């Protein structure tokens, strides 16, 4: 049960990170982001979904990456 809760927690953290990044870079919005992460106004909904899923996968990688000990 502990591993299920831990996995769910990393998924929640990744989702929060996705929301933060998407909100601050205008991902999947109609405006083009100033940081280069934005989607053009002509992007199809399928392309926006694909971009969000790719961003979520990257967020999961970051959240689940082992922390280097110094």
State the distance between the two ends of the chain, measured CA to CA, in whole angstroms: 31
Q: Write down the pLDDT at residue 45.
A: 86
| pTM of structure | 0.65
Q: How far apart are CA 65 and CA 14, in angstroms?
A: 11
Q: Match 């933060």 to its residue by tokens.
A: 20
Q: How far apart are CA 24 and CA 15, in angstroms?
A: 14
**pLDDT one-digit tens code per residue, 11-63:** 999 999 999 998 888 776 655 445 555 555 567 889 888 989 999 999 999 99
Q: Match 């922390």 to its residue by tokens.
A: 67
């Amino acid at each position: 049960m502990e591993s299920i809760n831990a996995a769910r927690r990393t998924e929640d953290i990744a989702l929060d990170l996705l929301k933060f990044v998407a909100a601050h870079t205008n991902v999947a919005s109609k405006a083009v982001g100033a940081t280069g992460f934005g989607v053009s106004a002509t992007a199809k909904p399928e392309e926006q979904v694909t971009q969000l899923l790719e961003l979520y996968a990257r967020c999961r990688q970051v959240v689940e990456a082992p922390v280097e000990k110094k």
